[in-house]
Chains A and B, each alone.
Chain A
Amino acid sequence: MAQFRPKRLDLGCFTNIKIIRDHTKRKVFEEHEPERQALRFMIRNTSLPQRTRAQAQLQLTQMHCYTRPTQIRNRCIMGGKGRGVFRDFRMARYQFRMKALAGQIPGVKKASW
């Protein structure tokens, strides 16, 4: 959603629209996380009146989908791929292989015995 996107892009990796979108979602989630956690606390607190809890539930479901952590997906920083991404290297498997064989990832070596 363009309303969350900053005027100037602050990404230093490969960019396409999917990466920009994911980055925006991450930042929006970071911004709204305390609010979400407060609502979740209210929903789970059984000592609060039932009406308050229901209202909190409604409010949480009506928040924008970009504020939801489940919208975030790890993408490859070299090519923007969404599948087969190594969490530790933030790279898809093929990009990882190319970089590793070229010796550009410190501490990674092709296994041979």
Chain B
Amino acid sequence: MAVPRSRILDLMKVQSRIFSTIFNPTALRLGNKVLRQRLRGPSLAAYYPRRVATFKDLKQLYPSHEMYDEQEEDRLEHIQISKSRGKGAPKKKKSAAESRKKPGKKR
């Protein structure tokens, strides 16, 4: 039993209305597949973990409170020990002349 073309077209029209798709019986390339794609940006941008509150932020929020930062204290202690052994970083030079290399000392 042959179904007339107009009947099929009507059916396609109803189908596209119900499923809210584009009615395109001649199968033209209308680029709708681009519009159907989901945006990938949000998931791609969420790849790296974001910054969370650090000890520094906490200290800035409550400057009046006394807080103990273990890592910072460790670092200061290490610097103090190396300084007492004479292994610390050199002092900051005040002028350009001071920072210039000593002449006559070649390696």
Contacts and interface: CB of A to CB of B under 8 A. Distances in A.
A26 B47 contact: yes
Interface in A4-61: 9-13, 19, 22-23, 26-27, 29-31, 33-34, 37, 40-47
A21 to B, nearest CB: 12
Q: Which of B39, B45, B52 has the most CB of A within 10 A?
A: B45
B25 interface: no
Given A43-B31, A45-B29, A47-B30, A37 B47 contact: no
A100 interface: no
A13 B44 contact: no
A44 B30 CA distance: 7
Interface in B17-44: 28-35, 37, 39-42, 44
Interface residues of A, number: 29
A40 B44 CA distance: 19
Contacts of B44: 26, 29-30, 69, 72
A30 B35 contact: no
Interface of B: 28-35, 37, 39-42, 44-45, 47-52
B37 to A, nearest CB: 7
Given A9-B51, A12-B50, A29-B45, A40 B34 contact: yes
Given A40-B34, A45-B29, 6 more contacts: A11-B49, A11-B51, A12-B52, A19-B48, A26-B41, A26-B45
A95 interface: no
A34 B41 CA distance: 9
A22 B49 CA distance: 13
Interface string A68-79: 010010100100
